[in-house]
Amino acid sequence: MKVDLFSIISIILATGTLITSICAIIVQNKYKKLKNDIKKHFEDFYFIEDKIYDVVIIGPRYSGKTSLLGLWFSPWFDISKTKPSNDMVTININGPDIKKYNKFDSTFGLERTYREKLVLRVHAYTGEEAQREEAFKGLPNLNNPVLILFLYIDANNTGLINDNKNNTYYSKKFMLSIKDKYFKYINKVFVIINKIDLLPKHLNQNSKEVLKLVRINNSDAIERIESLFSPVEYRLISCETNENITKLLGDLVSSEVKEIIDLKNNLNG
């Protein structure tokens, strides 16, 4: 059989073209699969964006600030192990998702789902007077700051023990300096009466009565606080028995985001 050079070259070229085409199809299919896999991945996947809201805690020494922070951060926290400290502490607490939305991603040519998560960034300052001022200097840079003012409470089985710590801490000078420089940055104020477990049994379930006694014992501090921040919300809590600890966190979340949307409706809709 006579085979000329032209035929040989034609066969080689044809085979080459065939192999190249097969490779191209394989690569194309592989690419298509990869593209589909990525698309599927992003369709199933959602991105979480943190929406940070700030909470600032101040109050006299031994009022329970570190204990509350410890319980919020880890519910198994042992408050008897809290030590007096000179450092301010900042912790992030993850709250619920507050929004769901889609954004077009031009790289992959598809819509991605985003969930906005509320994060409470809680700054707790020590009870020292210098720190008391520090807490407020940072306010202009915070997002929608809620202020938590602790009152120092001590009690025995007859009732509250009178003490001047709160009147000294929330001094006239200090409160006037807040009014002049920082008042406009504060979104909402909670006043915390902690250690209600120390109160006699007949008192600790009667919040009106407790509040009345606290007012009498701390009239200067409370007058200054109320005249500056009215309306203030009082919360009676116990870091010892965990009473109202989680509820307070819930109140903070809902005061930060006025229109928290029901998760069930929002995330499924």
CA distance 148 to 39: 46
Least distance CB 196 / ligand GDP (angstroms):
7
Least distance CB 126 / Mg ion (angstroms):
6
Least distance CB 66 / Mg ion (angstroms):
3
Q: Is 53 helix (H, G, I), strand (E, B) or coil?
A: strand
Least distance CB 89 / Mg ion (angstroms):
8
Nearer to ligand GDP among residue 166 and residue 238 (C-beta): 238
| Number of residues in contact with ligand GDP under rule CB under 6 A | 20
* E strand or H helix at 174: helix 172-181
| Only segment of 4-12, 42-50, 59-67, 212-220 that touches Mg ion (CB under 5 A) | 59-67
The only residue of 186, 195, 203, 218 in contact with ligand GDP, by rule CB under 6 A = 195
Q: Are strands 155-156 and 159-160 parallel, antiparallel or unpaired?
A: antiparallel
CA distance 129 to 170: 10
Amino acid in the structure at residue 160: L
CA distance 217 to 160: 8
Least distance CB 148 / ligand GDP (angstroms):
11
The only residue of 133, 154, 240, 251 in contact with ligand GDP, by rule CB under 6 A = 240
Distance between first and last Cα of the chain: 75
| Only segment of 169-177, 184-192, 237-245, 255-263 that touches ligand GDP (CB under 6 A) | 237-245
Under the binding rule (CB under 6 A), the answer on residue 128 touching ligand GDP is no
Under the binding rule (CB under 6 A), the answer on residue 239 touching ligand GDP is yes
CA distance 196 to 28: 71
Under the binding rule (CB under 5 A), the answer on residue 66 touching Mg ion is yes
Residue 63 binding partner per list ligand GDP, Mg ion, none, with a CB distance cut-off of 5 to 8 Å that depends on partner kind: ligand GDP
Under the binding rule (CB under 6 A), the answer on residue 64 touching ligand GDP is yes
The only residue of 91, 198, 261, 267 in contact with ligand GDP, by rule CB under 6 A = 198
* E strand or H helix at 57: strand 46-58
Under the binding rule (CB under 6 A), the answer on residue 79 touching ligand GDP is yes
| Only segment of 56-64, 112-120, 170-178, 210-218 that touches ligand GDP (CB under 6 A) | 56-64
Q: What is the DSSP string of 86-145?
A: SS-EEEEEEEEEEEEEEEEETTTTEEEEEEEEEEEEEEE--SSHHHHHHHHHTGGGSSS-
Nearer to ligand GDP among residue 61 and residue 179 (C-beta): 61
Nearest to 70 by CA among 95, 94, 89, 51: 89
Binding footprint of Mg ion on the chain (CB under 5 A): 66
